[in-house]
Amino acid sequence: MSGNLLEVQGLFAGYGEVPVLRDVHIAVGRGEIVALVGSNGAGKTTLLRALSRVLSGTGKLTFEGRDLSCLTPEQVFKLGIVQVPEGRQLFDQMTVLENLMMGAFARRDRKAIQETLASVYELFPKLYERRTQRAGSLSGGEQQMCAIGRALMAMPRLLMVDEMSLGLAPVIVDQLLEVLSTIRKQGVTVLLVEQDVFAALEVADRGYVMETGTVTQSGTAQALSEDPEVKRAYLGI
């Protein structure tokens, strides 16, 4: 086997009778940022759900050589596969600090949790300023920072970010993408799921394009963003 952190081979999954994913193959190497792009309804979020075992499916899913298919969502989380869910899903009534601490819910090492908290504050100084504010009162960009910070509090090995750019100004998206590059340098692998194809490919090393439930193209980020097919499909040129 190669040194891939995550491998998905021949994954089929769906909701009830409705099949969504058809024979999906992807691989994510250690320390990579991999973009998973595609339009609405391509099955990107479904793939994430299948990876975090909220949704069952058939096919081979391995994380560091470990088979995921027989694990519960909590066990997958403990292995270090952590999601930043679409729409941020913060605990609105709780403070920023409480939200961050919820990310460390499954951890018991108090001292190390404080260290992680310090590094999250270093990454997002805004969150430190606003630590006693209710998360629901933050701006959209700050909320997304809080959601990423919360996921980082769980010390992920693989961070899966779902639709990070949703409803955010392009300037903020660029800032957040930069943060993802920093996180990667700290040893966290990132799987970035995006509709904003070109923003995602800007920071990613490699990318997969999904259409109607299957991967139609893959390659280095640069090759994909220069690919005439991708350009035509997503930019209309």
Partner 1 sequence: MTLRTKFVLALAATLVLAALPWFAPPTLVQFGIATLLLATLAQGWNIIGGFTGYASFGNSVFFGLGSYGTAIAMVQWQLPFGVGLAFGVLLSVLFALVMGIPVLRLRGHYFAIATLALSQVMTAIVSNLEIAGRNIGLVLPLLNGDALFYELSLAVLVLATLTIFWISRSRFGFGLIAIRENEDAAASMGIDTTRYKVLAFALAGIFSALAGGIHAYWITFIDPVSAFDLSLNVKMIIMTVFGGPGSVLGPVIGAFVLSAISETLSTEVSSVASLFFGMVIVAAVIFMPRGLADLIRRFRKTGWRYFSENVRSHRL
Residues forming the site for partner 1 (CB under 8 A): 52, 54, 72-74, 77-78, 82-83, 85, 89-94, 102-103, 105-106, 150, 154
What minimum distance in Å lies between the beta carbon of 102 and partner 1? 5
State the nearest-atom distance from the C-beta of 156 to partner 1, in Å.
Answer: 11
Task: Tell which residue, 80, 124, 128, has the closest CA to residue 106.
Answer: 80
Q: Considering beta carbons, is residue 40 or 93 the nearer one to partner 1?
A: 93
As measured in angstroms, the least distance from the Cβ of 106 to partner 1 is 4
**Strand pairing class (214-220; 206-211):** antiparallel
Cα atoms in the 13 Å half-sphere on the side-chain side of 161: 33
Q: Least distance to partner 1 from the beta carbon of 110, Å?
A: 12
Contact 201, 235 (CB under 8 A): no
Smaller CB separation from partner 1, 36 or 82: 82
- DSSP sequence for 123-138: H-HHHHHTTTSBGGGS
Which one, 77 or 124, has the nearer CB to partner 1?
77
Please say which residue, 14 or 85, places its beta carbon nearer to partner 1.
Answer: 85
CB of 179 to partner 1, least distance (A): 19
User: Could you tell me if residue 129 is left (phi over 0), alpha (psi between -120 and 50 degrees) or otherwise beta?
Assistant: alpha
Place of tokens 């040893």: 187
In 3D space, the residue among 162, 160, 102 whose CA is nearest the CA of residue 135 turns out to be: 102
